[in-house]
Amino acid sequence: MSNRRPICALPDLLVSQIAAGEVIERPASVLKELVENAVDAGAQSVEIRLEAGGIRRIAVIDDGSGIEKNELALALTRHATSKISSLEELESVHSMGFRGEALASIAAVSQLTLISRTKDADHAWCLEPGTLEASAASGALGTTVEVKYLFDRVPARRKFLRAEATEFGHCIDAIERIALAFPEVGFRVFHNDRAVRQWLPTSALKRISDVLGAEFNEHGIEVNAQGGLIALMGVVTRPTAARARADRQFLFVNGRHVRDRTVSHAIRSAYADVLHGDRQPAFVLFLQVDPTAVDVNVHPAKHEVRFRDSGAVHRFVQQTVTQALAGVAGTQHVSATGADTSYGAAQMTDSAFVPTAFATSGSSSAPWQATTQRAFQLRETAQTNSTSPQAWQTLYQPLDEPTPAWPLGRALAQVHGIYILAQTNSGLALIDMHAAHERVVYEQLKKALDARTLPQQSLLVPIVFRVTEKELALAQEFQPHIESLGFEMAAVGPQALALRAVPAMLARGDLEALARGVLRDLEQIGASQLLTEQRNTLLATMACHGAVRANRQLTLEEMNALLRQMEQTERADQCNHGRPTWIHWNISDLDKLFLRGQ
Ligand SMILES: Nc1ncnc2c1ncn2[C@@H]1O[C@H](COP(=O)(O)OP(=O)(O)O)[C@@H](O)[C@H]1O
Ligand SMILES: [Mg+2]
């Protein structure tokens, strides 16, 4: 640069205006800061008045502790706060605010009036916009902050504001989030002098349904779990209440609404087994962690936090939510309405498909298991024999004995090497062979790994395969993890790995592809998260490799064994990718197709 300008310190107002860029994006961000201040001040009721979507005017009136006359000007000074005074206090902060930046930033980009009265004062004091000298005013105990003409002085920012209705919508979102977090505080909201929201002080659960409505009442499952220094409470919704958009997901960490990848991922993976990949669950969850175990000062607007032990948080959240959902799956599937099976298995409303059917045939479960094992040991043979005339004969054996009360029925045939066609008590089922087996293997892997009883099978002849240096390094770095998954892999050269043992359950698939898949997952997952966050992703990869492939000819015996295994597998309705694994048509459905009896 030719025209070098001298370095100078920026004027204070400009510093605040720049800082405002980080925290104050739109009226809703102003509102968030003001309402949080009211809550920090111990307010029991907060009134919010908006004009023109908050662009023209935002006023927040609280009945909290108020501000002393001689501190009013300080409240508007950058980095002045009553909430912390040392680093130690920051590390265990309980208030929403602590940076002492919000009011100064807002005042720098608007016209801010501050009126406040403490319990010892005879009357309120007021700071008019642009003054630092308080004048006597009338007003009740508490504080009123009025913010007018946001960004009028910062046209660059003003331009980015949307239509009033949109800004109003953002304001309501911001208020809802705080209202959810502070159910003991009452809120009233006015827009252009019309009352638009009112929530009375109440319990956390009642506040959730007050704010978010019926959906959480009807489809909600209460979550309430405590574990050492961590607790999770709130409401998750059944998978059927899932939405196309992630607009009903509220996570609060120590009362603060945040977006957090660890927790989101934990919740996602808890739903992964029961929810189609592109559907979004709805939930309101409050995570309480010891303040010293979480850093809230990682984002100027505090939208993010950082956990000291994110692995532990992830485990706790995932387990808690999984249990909540599993509890419901058990009870809900019993309902004959089929109301909660709209994801994939909606057609299965017949009573033959409810778990009671599993229970009544429980006595015969031992023979199923025997069949199952035998059949899958036979798999290799079946494959090689697939085209023999004998195999075809078995496939098309006529079926004259009555179908037993197996929910998934008796296998009739394999269709296009992909589907199993089965006759059930009440109709016809079509089963995606690979998806179904994948689900079975996946659940078996999960169980075995949880019980630390993943049986290993040594390979008679090790499989040696070429890898990149990176893959080799991964195999060495993750050796203990790889072993805990049932593998034994060792370097046999600068670019070669020998696979000496694999999980017995998966010993028949394409082992090289399996090993590569595991390495690839490990690379993406990273050591710290393995066996916690992403364990199920990895198991899904393994299950996918271990499951029967399409175009593999199965015998009827194998098909039936698979059906029996599915019936015994939790959540066999969906494959690991959330797709349905089977569909069912009642005879009446079929009759309709053919216009019979009409
Ligand atoms: N509604 C309020 N009631 C009482 N005191 C308030 C209120 N709003 C702000 N204050 C005081 O002004 C200070 C500065 O507020 P702010 O700029 O939001 O920073 P922070 O909340 O991070 O401390 C607060 O620490 C608090 O002492
Ligand atoms: Mg504040």
Distance 185 CA to ligand 2 centre (A): 17
What secondary structure does DSSP assign to 573-589, as a single string? Answer: TB-TTS-BSEEEEEHHH
- If you measure from the C-alpha of residue 217 to the centroid of ligand 2, how many angstroms do you get, rounded to a whole number? 33
Report the separation in Å between the CA atom of 254 and the middle of ligand 2, taken as the mean of its atom positions: 16
- Looking at ligand 1, which atom is closest to the CA of residue 105? 17
The pLDDT, as a whole number, for residue 379 is 31
Q: Which of 103, 141, 144 to mutate to test the pocket of ligand 1 (most atoms within 8 A of CB)?
A: 103
CA torsion angle 259 261 264 267 (round to 10): -150
**pLDDT in the model for residue 529:** 54
The encoded tokens of residue 495 equal 């670019």
pLDDT at 531: 52
* 452 neighbors 587 (Cβ within 8 angstroms): no
Centroid of ligand 2 to alpha carbon of 82 (angstroms): 10
CB 529 within 8 A of CB 565: no
Atom of ligand 1 nearest to the CA of 75: 12
Ligand 1 atom at minimum distance from 106 CA: 17
Q: Which ligand is nearest to the CA of 93?
A: 1
The residue type of 109 is V
Q: Which amino acid is at 36?
A: E
**143 Cα: distance to centroid of ligand 1 (angstroms):** 10
Ligand 1 atom with the smallest distance to the CA of 33 is 18
What is the predicted pLDDT for the residue at 468? 84
Q: What contacts 517, CB < 8 A, 6 or more positions away?
A: 541, 542, 544, 545
User: How close is the Cα of 296 to the center of ligand 2, in Å?
Assistant: 14
The pLDDT of residue 334 is 24
| Tokens representing residue 317 in the block | 């959240």
Tokens found for residue 489: 């892999």
pLDDT in tens, 2-27: 678 888 888 888 888 887 777 788 99
3-class secondary-structure state, position 236? strand
Amino acid identity for residue 189 in this structure: V
What does the block give as tokens for 65?
A: 């502790």
Ligand nearest to the CA of 42: 1
Give the CATH number of domain 205-332; options: 3.30.70.20, 3.30.230.10, 1.25.50.10, 3.40.190.10: 3.30.230.10
In the prediction, which pLDDT does 150 show? 93
pLDDT at 234: 94
Which residues does 161 contact at the CB level (< 8 Å), separation at least 6? 26, 27, 55, 150, 151, 167
Give the residue extent of every domain in the chain: 12-201, 205-332, 345-437+551-593, 454-546
Task: Give the Cα separation of 171 and 553 in Å (integer).
Answer: 60
pLDDT at 454: 79
Choose one of 34, 37, 98, 145 to mutate for the ligand 1 pocket test, by most ligand atoms within 8 angstroms of C-beta. 37
Report how far residue 542's alpha carbon sits from residue 170's, in angstroms, rounded to the nearest whole number.
44
CATH superfamily of 345-437+551-593: MutL, C-terminal domain, dimerisation subdomain (3.30.1540.20)
Q: Are 34 and 58 in contact (CB under 8 A)?
A: yes
The token duo for 467 is: 């890898």
Q: Report pLDDT for 176.
A: 95
As for ligand 1, residues whose beta carbon falls within 6 Å of it are 33, 37-38, 41, 62, 64-67, 75, 81-83, 97-104, 143
Pairing between strand 283-289 and 249-253?
A: parallel
pTM: 0.59
Q: Do domains 345-437+551-593 and 454-546 have the same CATH topology?
A: no
Ranges under pLDDT 50 in the chain: 329-402
List alpha helices for 297-415, DSSP H.
310-332, 355-360, 365-377, 379-384, 389-395
Q: How close is the Cα of 138 to the center of ligand 1, in Å? A: 20
How far is the CA of 406 from the CAs of 17, 355, 558, 575, in angstroms? 70, 11, 15, 20
The number of beta carbons lying within 10 Å of the beta carbon of residue 398 is 5
Q: Tokens standing for 594?
A: 């053919």
**What atom in ligand 1 is closest to the CA of residue 81?**
25
pLDDT of residue 238: 85
Minimum-distance ligand 1 atom for the alpha carbon of 65? 4
Q: What is the pLDDT of residue 355?
A: 24
Q: What is the pLDDT of residue 25?
A: 86
Q: If one looks up domain 454-546 in CATH, what number appears?
A: 3.30.1370.100
Enumerate residues 6+ apart whose C-beta is below 8 A from 359.
none
Radius of gyration of the chain (CA): 31
Between the alpha carbon of residue 434 and those of residues 4, 263, 344, 418, the distances in Å are 69, 31, 16, 7
From 40, 71, 98, 299, give the residue whose CB has the most ligand 1 atoms within 8 Å, as the site to mutate.
40
pLDDT at 362: 29
Say if residues 307 and 252 touch (Cβ distance below 8 Å).
no
Q: Six-digit token pair at 260?
A: 């957090």
Neighbours of 185 (CB within 10 A): 24
Task: Select from 316, 199, 193, 203 the least CA-distant residue to 265.
Answer: 316
Select the CATH number that applies to the domain covering 12-201 from these four: 1.10.10.60, 3.30.565.10, 3.10.20.30, 3.30.300.10.
3.30.565.10
Q: Which residues of 447-462 are buried (b: 16+ CB within 10 A; e: fewer)?
A: ebbeeeebebeeeeeb
Beta carbons within 8 Å of 397's beta carbon, 6+ residues apart: 556
